[in-house]
Amino acid sequence: MKKRKWLWIISFAVCAASGIVLLAAACSARASGHMKLTVIDAYSLRAIANARIILPEAGLSATSDQNGVAYLYGVPVRTREGALAEVPCDYGETTIFVYAEGYLPFALFHAHVYPDRMRNGPTLYLFPEGNEDGIEVISMIESPAEEWVKRLLDSYMP
C-alpha cells in the first residue's frame, strides 16, 4: 500500500511538471503569420524572377518565382514596444530586404504581419540600377493602420 501511495505521488508530480512545461511552451510560443510577396520592376511593372527576399528579424528568406511571387511562412508577429504597445493592434511588423540582379537594393520597414493569416502583399517595387542619379538604395516604410493611429492619438489627447 505504501509503494502504491508513493507511485501515485510520483506520477502526479511528473504529470504536474509536464503540464507546467507545456504551459510555459504555449505561453512563450509567438504568434506568426504568412506573406505572399510580389516583386516587380517599378517602371515596367513586370515581374522580377529570382529576387532574393530576406526577413532579418525572422531569419527567413525566399526567392521570387517567374511571376515575381514568393511565399514566406511562419513570419513572427513582432508586437510594438514601449508607449506604442499600450494601444492594442491586430498585427505585428517585420522588415523586408530585397536584392535582385540589375536593381537597387530595397528595404521595407514596418511591414504588417497578421497572426494566423496569409497576407496577399505587399508588392515590392524595385528600381533598376543606374536610373536614379546618386541613389544607391531604396527604403520605404509601411504606414500603420489608420484606425490604430486614431486610437493612439485619442489615448494621448489632452
100-109 pLDDT, tens per residue?
999 999 999 9
- Which pLDDT belongs to residue 19? 47
Residues 122, 53, single domain; the answer is yes
Mean pLDDT of the chain: 87
Residues 6, 49, single domain; the answer is no
**More confident: 134 or 19:** 134
Name the pTM for this structure.
0.78
Mean pLDDT of 69-94: 91
4 vs 7: CA distance, rounded Å: 5
140 vs 110: CA distance, rounded Å: 9
What are the phi and psi torsion angles at 128 (to 5°)? -60, 145
Mean pLDDT of 9-26: 50
Q: Give the rounded percent of residues in the chain with a pLDDT score beyond 90.
A: 70
Q: How confident is the model at residue 133 (pLDDT cuts 50, 70, 90)?
A: confident
Residues 61, 101, single domain; the answer is yes
- Which pLDDT belongs to residue 65? 98
Mean pLDDT of 68-92: 91
Residues 64, 138, single domain; the answer is yes
Per-residue CA distances from 80 to 10, 15, 26, 132, 146 (Å): 43, 36, 20, 34, 16
Q: Are 75 and 62 in contact (CB under 8 A)?
A: no
How far the first Cα of the chain sits from its last, in Å, is: 71
- The alpha carbon of 74 is separated from its chain's Cα centroid by a whole number of angstroms, namely 8
Domain that holds residue 24: 1-30
Q: How many domains does the structure of the chain reveal? A: 2
35-69 pLDDT, tens per residue?
999 999 999 999 999 999 999 999 999 999 999 99
106 vs 54: CA distance, rounded Å: 10
